[in-house]
Amino acid sequence: MATRKAKTNLPVSASQPGTGPVGKPAPAAQAAQPVAIPAVQAAQPVAIGEPDHSDFLADRFANAFLARLTAGLSPASLTLAYTDWAAHLLSAPGKRTDLLRKAGRKVLRMATHAAHCATRNDSPEPCIQPLAQDRRFSDPAWQQPPYNMIYQSFLLTQQWWYNATTGVPGVSRHHEQVMEFTARQLLDIFSPSNFLLTNPVLQQKTLETGGQNLLHGWQNLMEDSQRNLLGLPPVGAEAFQVGRDVGVTPGKVVYRNRLIELIQYAPTTKTVHAEPVLIMPAWIMKYYILDLSPQNSLVRYLVSKGHTVFMVSWKNPEYDDRDLGMEEYLRLGALAAIDAVSAIQPGQRLHAAGYCLGGTLLSIAASALAGRGDERLASLTLLAAQVDFKEAGELTLFIDESQVRFLEDMMWEQGFLDTKQMAGAFQLLRSNDLIWSRMLNEYMMGERGQLNDLMAWNADQTRMPYRMHSEYLRQLFLNNDLAEGRYRLDGELVSLGNIRAPVFAIGTEQDHVAPWRSVFKIDRLTHTDITLLLTSGGHNAGIVSEPGRRNRRFRLEHRSRHDGEIDIASWMERQDVHEGSWWPAWQAWLAAKSGKQVPAPKEMGNAAAGYKPLGDAPGSYVMGR
């Protein structure tokens, strides 16, 4: 069988030891010493995109002001997509004729269905079924006339517009995706489920309550508006206070710099696996998604299985952090954490796990360390994390040159990308569930949904510094430099092909942020043993999937470095389905990659090495707002 080869295998040249993440090879994992992390220099002007000359200041201020009105979406980007689509549609008479034919057939289907409904006593099958994930018209009341005609007409219209915005000859793929997405968002605004006159479920609720639901909905809207203006968390979030209700696994902060706190968790078993586990969440989120309530805490689960767990907690950046870039996030984040764990538990290799962007950053760090012969990583786990961004899902709709420049100008003015600006993009990806369904239930039905710990965490978001986010968007998302062998650290090329530690890559079936097919591309970019796991759920709920949770399943495949490349298109169909949580499968893999059990540490940190406990978990950085 053909050997799986890495696409990028350029070596990382050595630089002087102690100057950064790329230095001389460590003689052995046991002898590896922490790399000195230099202090970040005073903020310098950021040279990203166009230079910051006075000639461009007016442009930047104008774009920043416009961005506040458009929630960060570039009008120029949308205009370019529309112009590309409209111009090519006008020059495609065959496509226009086909669309007219399709419109005629849909009108005929609707008329035939209406005639059947009027002349037959039974209820005929709908002429069009909603998509599996579309639950707007699932109530039986929608099957009664005239509402059945209303919602089916809407679905047929939605289907026609999908045909109209896709398959137009000559339109670029990106512009086609933008047009299809935009048309879908605009149509969803006018869904019959959103209006009292066309929603039978809402009408019935209004009659039953004498209109009290609308009054309660108005009160909910006013309360939410007030909380948004004051910057307060959503209703119900007070029941999930960090350190009291969530993020409560006992531990100590054992290291801190200007960007991270490192938490070491207290053991609960007499013996532990010799190799510690270092977890790096994304800086776009608070770390405690992996340490939620005690019953669904991944950290607590690993500790209970005899693992010594360390967790990175990112600082919520402010204006003064605007010039922190990707290199600082590598030096002060991933590499500083690895050095600290190595010093606290000297002589032991470590299992590194990264979630989302944290996994991307950890992959870069692992590549750089492997390139200089540093073998401190016993394994690398990627939790819904991408290293190839060519097909990075619907988030790429918001990433092109015009959009990135627009975001840069907005961040340039305020110094960071705000939480609300990020949340808006993620909500658009699932607008039916996160926007319109919520507005219907809370503001028209008058029913408050009960907040759970995951929802409360999701509302506790973080900002991203101007320089880092700009570099991340351009180098990784826009240019795909990491996967294509152009990414540089300390001036040296970083190659994923250098990684030799075994990899465990986890994707989730319904991930809109890091699609599993994109996550699994790590298999093509490395030359090592890889385990691929696909679990049910989405980007967050699929990862927070504790044992005992209902309706959970996963697929698993262990692949040798000598196996050929996988066929991603048919991978899911070829794998057996395992019921339950994926956590035990990953923990068993970690245990198999670990050495003998050793006595559990009696104290947190390592005072002799200069890592004294600085305070109790969850630390101070997680409290930053």
Strands 350-355 and 377-383 turn out to be parallel
| Amino acid sitting at position 34 | P
Please confirm whether the linkage preceding 146 is cis (ω < 30° from 0): yes
Residue 73 C-alpha from the chain's centroid:
19
Identify which of 537, 495, 498 has the alpha carbon closest to the alpha carbon of residue 514.
537
Element (H, E) at 251: strand 251-256
Residue 140 CB-density burial (10 A; 0-12 exposed, 13-18 middle, 19+ buried):
exposed
- Cβ atoms 5, 527 nearer than 8 A: yes
From CA 614, how far away is CA 624, in angstroms rounded?
17
Residue 1: other Cβ atoms inside 10 A: 7
- Which of 89, 279, 311, 356 is flagged as catalytic? 356
From CA 324, how far away is CA 322, in angstroms rounded?
6
From CA 119, how far away is CA 131, in angstroms rounded?
28
Identify which of 587, 527, 532 has the alpha carbon closest to the alpha carbon of residue 559.
532
List all residues 6 or more positions away from 197 whose beta carbon is below 8 Å from its beta carbon: none
Sign of CA dihedral 465, 466, 470, 473: positive
Is 127 one of the annotated active-site residues of the chain? Answer: no
Three-state secondary-structure class, residue 261: strand
- Cβ atoms 389, 477 nearer than 8 A: yes
Whole-number Cα distances in Å, 111 to 99, 104, 161, 199, 231: 18, 11, 19, 21, 51
Whole-number Cα distances in Å, 119 to 111, 123, 140, 233: 12, 10, 20, 54
The set of catalytic residues is 356
